[in-house]
Structure 1
Amino acid sequence: MGKIRSYEFLNKLYGFLDNQQNQGTYVIEFFRAAGSPYFVMPATYKGRTSEALEGERHYAKDRPLTSEIKESFPNPIDLDGLAAFISKNLSEDKLAACMTEFGIPSAATREKDKFARALAVQFGLFVTSSEDDVDNAVWGIYQTLLAGQPISADDVSGPRNPGDDVYVELEGRYHAADCYEIIHHEWKLQNRGKIPWENRRLVLVNQADIHPRPVQTIIPIPDARPGEHIKIATDIDARGFEGEYECRWEMQDANGENCFPNKRWDFNIRIHVAFNAMAGGEERG
C-alpha cells in the first residue's frame, strides 16, 4: 500500500477504537501506552475537551511526530502495552473494516490480538525512522505473526546504526509456483539513511527449517551511498516440494550483525508451491 505518515495512521485507527473521548485524549493515551510521557492527561474534564487539547489532537490530524516526541519513547517502545491498548479498544464488530483499512485482504484470517500487535509494530516504525512517512508494512507484519513467528520489543528497536535506513520495494515478495519450477526473485533496495553501506550482505536466517531453499543463502550487497538504488537477486529451486514456505532474510554488516532488526520482515519471501501435472520446467521471475 505504499507509504503512510504517522498522523494518517493515527487518524485511520482513531475511527475504529471505542471509548476515545476525542482525538486529543486519544493521542495522549496512545502515546502513553507506547511508553511516552510526553503528553499528560489533564485531571479535569474541562482540560480534556478538544479545544483544550488542540495541540495534541493535531498528531492524529495533520502534524508529524517531532524529533523531540520520538525521543520521548523508550527504545524499543512498549510494544506489549500498545498492542494491549489497541486490542482492548478495538471491538470485534469493527475488526474486519479496520483490517481492510490497513491493507489486510478480506479473505485473511482475523485474529484481533495479532492484528493489534501488527499495528503496534507499525507505529514503532514511525518512532525509529528518521522520516515521518514510512512503508505501510501492516500486512507483512500480520502475515509474520499469523505464521507463528513472534515479534518482540527488541524487534522494533531502531536500526543498529543511528541514521541508517532502507527502503525495500514490497511488490513481488509472494511467488506462486509449481513443484517443477525454479523461481527467480529480485530485491529492489534503496539506501534511505544518512550513512553509506559497505561490506553488507543479505543472509537467509532460517535455511535449516525450510524447503525449497534459495540457491544462494548469502548474497553480497553492492556498496551504496545514501539515496542510491540497488538490485540483488537469487534463484529458488521449488522442484520436488509442495506447500507454503517463507524464506526469512536479514541485512547483515561485515561483523554479521543485523543492520535492521526492526525491518526483518521487509526482506522475506513467501512461496506457495503446488503440484501441476501439466507443468514443464519453466523458470518464473
Structure 2
Amino acid sequence: MTTPTDPPAPPGRPRPGRKLGPIADSVSSTHRAWLEPVRDTYLASGLTLSGLSDRISFAKSKLSELLRGVGLYPRWEVVFLIAAELDMPNWPLYRLWRQAAFEARRSGEWVERSTERTTILTTAHTAAPWDHRAFRDLVEGNYLLYAQVFLDDDQRDTAVADTFDILWLSWNDALTSHDTRRYAWNVLRATVMARTPHRDGRPELSTAAFDTVALRSLTGPADSMDKITEILKLFSAISRLPGRQFDVMVLRRLCGFAPEAVSALVGSSLATVSSDERHATRFLESVLCPPPSTEGKTP
C-alpha cells in the first residue's frame, strides 16, 4: 500500500513550511510593542522561516520561538540581524527592545553584552522619515495631554515616546492605511492602555486628571467634598463607556478639546465625534442624574 505524498513544490519557489504560531499570551506589552512590527514585517516579506534562518545563520526553531515570544528573552544581536534582513530601522527597535529587556528583569550588564557586537550601528542615531517627524511635531503635545489623564509624568512620556517608535517601525502601514491619524491614534491608545491601571476591567484615571477637573470645578472650600464625590462618579461613569465614546469624552471633558480638534486628532469625522459625544452624554446623564423613582407612588 502506498502512502500519499505532498506534490512537489514549484521550481524556484521554496516550500511554505509550517505556519508561524501566534504571539504567546504571556508576552508583556513592552515586549509586544517591538515584536508585533517585526512579525508583521516578516509576514509581509514573503520569506519563510527556513529562508530567514539560512540568511541570519540562526536555528529555525529558535527563530520561531523568538517571533512568538516564547522561551528566553532574545539577545539584541539576533533581533538586529532579523531587522537588517527585513530592512527595518534599528534605532526605534533597539529602544523598544532595551526597555522590554529591563522589564523582563535582564540586567544592564546583560543588555550591554547583548549589544557589544553591534554597538556602533545600534547607538548611531538615525532620523525618522521627514513625514513621520512632521506628524510627531503636529500631534505630540496633544498625545501627552491624553496620556496624562491615565499615567504619571514618567510613564506618560515613555508611553508617548514608545508610540512614535512603534509608528516609525510601521510607518509604511500607517501611510497606506485608510487614515494615518486614526492608525496612529490606535497605536497611542493601545500603548497608553497597556500601562494604565485597571479595576474590574475598566481603566482608572490618574491623580493628574482628577486634579485638573477639580481645579475647574471647585468654587470654594464649602463645596469641596460634594464636588469631589461628583468627580469620582463622573470618572467611574466615563470608564464604562465603549472605546470610541470613552476617548471622545476624555478629550472633550477632561482635556478640554473642541470637537473639531478631537476630530482631527483621532481621525474621525466631526459628525462621528458629535454623535459619539451625544450618545456618551446621554449615558452619563442616566448614570449621574437618574430620573426620580416612582416606586411606591399612587398613580
TM-score when normalising by structure 1? 0.24
* Rg (Cα) greater in structure: 2
Give the structure with the larger strand fraction: 1
* More contact order relative to length (CA 8 Å, sep ≥ 6): 1
Give the structure with the larger helix fraction: 2
TM-score when normalising by structure 2? 0.24
